Amino acid sequence: MSDPATRKPVRRFVLHKVLPPIGWRVYRALGRSWTYRERDVEILHDLVAAKRPVVGAFMHARTFSLLHYFSLPAQGRWILMCSQSRDGEAMARIEEGLGFRVARGSSGKGGARALVEMIKAQREDRGLNSCLAIDGSRGPRGIAQLGTITLAQKTGSLLLPVAASTDHCWVWRKSWDRTVIPKPGATVTVQIGTPIEVPPKLDETQLEALRLRLETAIVGMHRELDRTTGYHDAEPLQRPA
């Protein structure tokens, strides 16, 4: 039987050095096989051209569909948050390989420190944008948390709702978010929503109203896109249309 003390460095080497270069190349090849249909993407391009900082807000389940799209030069430069777990280390290196800047943390561990890093990065570089899943790294699925709003407040950024859908996909049903993975050659529809201004100060009532507005906008965008693409999930988001 192998020594656990020996297995750990080997596992770390595989996760940190071997898998990421393979992973980002495989993912890049998969992304390049997709065809994108864009809705209202000029909103994003106008903001990028004007160097108006934004916080992209999206559904965690659609991360896989959006990473390649937002790694393309026309979509600007982005900083992301990635889990501090061992598996998260591999994912962070893959995202860096795609050209993203990565802050390490999640709603479970290190999230506050990562959020501070993202705020600092955007304040220092006004051409840098950030993005966060509205439902965090652990859910509940489709329920907006406050991270995106806090990030927009502290950086003077606009909140930018983003959605993606495709019917030619796999669904990772064992994951809490039911991750959607477009198949090779899939057509991925990406929609940019109406930017949302975030006041620097909000009382509890205003904060909840803004959180609900963001959540409703993104869930609504996904419902509309899913009807258009034909995507169907046996366990749809629970909020009524």
The per-residue pLDDT for range 169-226, each reduced to its tens digit, is: 999 999 999 999 999 999 999 999 999 999 999 999 999 999 999 999 999 999 999 9
Verify cis geometry, omega within 30 degrees of 0, for the bond prior to 140: yes
For residue 72, pLDDT beyond 90: yes
Question: 28-56 pLDDT, tens per residue?
Answer: 999 999 999 999 999 999 999 999 999 99
Torsion of CA 56, 102, 62, 37, to 10 degrees: 60
**Helix axes 19-33 and 63-71, enclosed angle (nearest 10):** 90
Name the amino acid, one letter, at 33. S
Q: Which distant-in-sequence residues (6+ apart) come within 8 Å of 234 by Cβ?
A: none
The domain locations on the chain are: 4-229
- What's the pLDDT band for 120 if we cut at 50, 70, 90? very high
**Cβ neighbours for 160, distance < 8 A, ≥ 6 positions apart:** 43, 44, 47, 54, 55, 56, 57, 192, 193, 195, 196
pTM for this prediction: 0.87
Pick from 195, 185, 182, 220: nearest CA to 42: 195
Q: How confident is the model at residue 102 (pLDDT cuts 50, 70, 90)?
A: very high
User: Sheet holding 101-104: strands in order across?
Assistant: 35-39, 187-192, 158-165, 54-58, 128-133, 77-82, 101-104
Q: What is the pLDDT of residue 236?
A: 75
pLDDT score of 240 more than 70: no
Q: CB-side exposure of 122: number of CA atoms within 13 Å?
A: 27
Q: How confident is the model over 224-237, as pLDDT tens digits?
A: 999 999 999 888 77
Residue 86: is its pLDDT beyond 90? Answer: no
Q: What is the β-pairing status of strands 158-165 and 54-58? A: parallel
Q: Which two tokens stand for residue 241?
A: 């249309």
103: number of Cβ within 10 Å: 21
CATH of 4-229, one of 1.10.1780.10, 3.30.1300.10, 3.30.710.10, 3.40.1130.10: 3.40.1130.10
Q: How many CB atoms lie within 10 A of CB 94?
A: 23
Segment 76-92 mean pLDDT: 79
Quick one: what percent of the chain has pLDDT higher than 90?
Answer: 70
Type of residue numbered 151: L
Residue 9: predicted pLDDT: 66
